[in-house]
Amino acid sequence: MNFGGTLQDAVALVESGHFSQVVEAWAKALDEQTLRERLLVLGEAFNALGKAREGLELVLRALKLDTQNIRTLCAAGEAYQGCNFLPEAFGCFYKATNLAPLEPAAWSGLGHVFLRSHKTKEALYCLQKAFEIQPANPDVSNRLGLVFLEQNNPQHAAQWFLNSIKLKPDSSHAWGNLAVAWRKSDQIQLALRACKSALKIDPRNAANWTNLGVLHQEQNEIEEALSAYRRAIALDENFYLAHVNEGIALLLKGDLLAGWAKYEYRWLAGESQKQRHLKLPFWKGNESLAGKTILLHSDQGFGDTIQCLRFVSVLLSLGALIHIEVNPVLVAIAAQVDGVVSAVPLMQAGEAFDFQCPFLSLPFACKTTFETLPAAVPYLHPSAQALEKWKSFEPTTGKLRVALAWRGNAEHENDRNRSLSLEALKPLLALENCEFINLQWGLAGAEKDAVAQLPNFRDTMPLISTFDDTAAFLTHVDLVISVDTAVAHLAGALGKQVWILLPFAPDWRWLLERIDSPWYPTARLFRQPTRGAWSAVVEQIVLNLKVLVNEFTTSSGN
């Protein structure tokens, strides 16, 4: 076939299936410079078609013909990145920056390697160098946007993506990244438009179909989300994040068995670096546990671990000898679970067990449905030592004692939606005949000063160091009011009355529309009617708490 040397020609050659014969003919007939250029553009065509390994082989073949050529070095760096060979990519780009300090592609590539290694300071330096040299390069602007996304500054990131789009309006990558930035800025409709623009340009991009699914899920449009995730999987079955997100959507709509199975794809979608105890067989529910030892270990947050400690009872009924490895602040409370042989901090369990299973894989391994879900509470109990420590905390005021937590972990991906401010709780804190108790970690600055000035608010958190402490403390509380965080799970696991404040698009475990939870019989769910509408949730809490206070004062004779 005729080959004009363009990327379009190279793509056509790859898709024809005859490129091997053509390449061999080139090797016999062309001079080294021309051969290098053609191998290079053919390698770039493979990369453009998502075939990074084949592209890398051709680019490296081109590099052997001229190891000092800057364009070829940069192409090799990009090809190595496409195959996730970051040290090799770094070597190519670093060499290119030394040979050609004013080459923007070299600085851009080096910055992207740093970014993918989560070294944002170094990435920003390199990409700013590239921008200074060539401000009209759309790829540099796009990568600068990615740096600010990594730094959790989506507004600034969006400006760089918009600049990239201005320079190259048909960049599906920039449009897709802009959609992510606007989603993280809670501008969902703008994000939808950007994502659809990306898909109009490149309808075969699995990542953007997955992002579209996330945007639909943010609006509780679960069927639309599932359709988008499945479109992504049909395009690229190895795009594992789409499988994981499909699993979460299935769980959210209550299709548990299919959801658990899909959720296990998380180990292929970037979670593998968090896996531990790989030398031990992973128990997936198929092997007998009778008389066998199994190590259950934390793989996600405190709340996830607390929620899944309930499965100890299931494994105990199967005859297992159960050992637990959790975060140090959970060890004491985990040790109190009936049937637990030992509980130790993370990284201290060793490998002397027959099986291992991460806590969030237990629902899958136990083939959990709503009918078989172990929902009996309490399944957690404070230790005798912790109860002794807090026995003096008996109520003395005759008021309803309400414990509050209004923020979750600030590092949680969705914390901006699931947490609220102390200021938003003002109508609640103004209620009479309530004694409010702080369950919020990390009070500081103006928030700490504001709490100190509240007449009906007690802060005991400086005395609490573990979840065992918190559990014993909660035995003296009438009600827990919490956002979706570990405190809510602990209260539910203890069988305490707990009211949970949920964002409009909730986490999978709270399902949709329900005011109750199959996981925690003593929980009551208060949901935002629209995105960000915490005032409506607090209003409902206040109305219901007034009723509870009246019942309490009547029953206590106050």
Least confident of 258-267, 322-331, 406-415, 502-511: 406-415
Question: Which has the closest alpha carbon to 278: 293, 297, 291, 264?
Answer: 297
Token couple for 218: 């943010």
Rounded CA-CA distance 272/118 in Å is 17
User: What is the pLDDT averaged over residues 251-257?
Assistant: 98
The answer to whether residues 211 and 218 touch, using CB atoms and an 8 Å cutoff, is no
Taking only the tens place, the pLDDT of each residue in 49-92 is 777 788 888 888 888 888 898 988 998 999 999 888 999 999 99
Taking only the tens place, the pLDDT of each residue in 175-197 is 999 999 999 999 999 999 999 99
DSSP 24-41: HHHHHHS-HHHHHHHHHH
The answer to whether residues 334 and 254 touch, using CB atoms and an 8 Å cutoff, is no
Rounded CA-CA distance 132/60 in Å is 29
Residue 237 banded pLDDT, cuts 50, 70, 90: very high
Return the pLDDT at 9. 67
**What is the share, in percent, of the chain residues with pLDDT greater than 70?**
93
User: What is the pLDDT averaged over residues 199-209?
Assistant: 96
Rounded CA-CA distance 5/21 in Å is 17
Rounded CA-CA distance 88/91 in Å is 5
Residue 410 banded pLDDT, cuts 50, 70, 90: confident
Rounded CA-CA distance 246/262 in Å is 7
- Whether the pLDDT of residue 376 is over 80: the answer is yes
DSSP 210-254: HHHHHHHHHTT-HHHHHHHHHHHHHH-TT-HHHHHHHHHHHHHTT
The answer to whether residues 509 and 519 touch, using CB atoms and an 8 Å cutoff, is yes
The answer to whether residues 159 and 181 touch, using CB atoms and an 8 Å cutoff, is no
DSSP alpha helix (H) spans, 318-462: 331-334, 362-365, 384-389, 415-418, 426-429, 445-452
- Whether the pLDDT of residue 7 is over 70: the answer is no
- The three-class DSSP label of residue 122 is helix
Taking only the tens place, the pLDDT of each residue in 430-458 is 998 899 998 988 777 788 888 778 888 88
* Per-residue DSSP letter, 378: -
Q: What is the phi/psi pair of residue 435, to 5°?
A: -110, 115
- Whether the pLDDT of residue 1 is over 70: the answer is no
Rounded CA-CA distance 132/150 in Å is 21
User: What is the pLDDT averaged over residues 479-495?
Assistant: 96
DSSP 430-465: T-SSEEEEE--S---HHHHHHHHT-TTEE--GGG--
Q: What is the phi/psi pair of residue 357, to 5°?
A: -155, 125
Rounded CA-CA distance 497/521 in Å is 9
Tell me whether the omega of the peptide bond preceding residue 378 falls within 30 degrees of 0, making it cis.
yes
Taking only the tens place, the pLDDT of each residue in 498-522 is 999 999 999 999 999 999 999 999 9
The answer to whether residues 490 and 337 touch, using CB atoms and an 8 Å cutoff, is no
| 1, 43, 80, 106, 172 from 57: Cα distances, Å | 22, 8, 10, 20, 26
Return the pLDDT at 26. 66
- The three-class DSSP label of residue 159 is helix
Q: What is the largest CA-CA distance in the chain?
A: 101
Amino acid, res. 189: Q
Q: In the chain, what is the straight-line distance between the N-terminal and C-terminal CA atoms, in Å?
A: 94
For the chain, list the domains and their CATH numbers.
280-365 (3.40.50), 384-556 (3.40.50.2000)
* Full-model pTM: 0.90
User: What is the pLDDT averaged over residues 326-348?
Assistant: 96
Residue 10 banded pLDDT, cuts 50, 70, 90: low
Amino acid, res. 188: I
The answer to whether residues 251 and 243 touch, using CB atoms and an 8 Å cutoff, is no
Rounded CA-CA distance 31/38 in Å is 11
- Whether the pLDDT of residue 2 is over 70: the answer is no
- The three-class DSSP label of residue 543 is helix
Least confident of 120-134, 274-288, 318-332, 386-400: 386-400
Q: Which residues contact 451 (CB under 8 A, 6 or more apart)?
A: 422, 438, 443, 457, 459
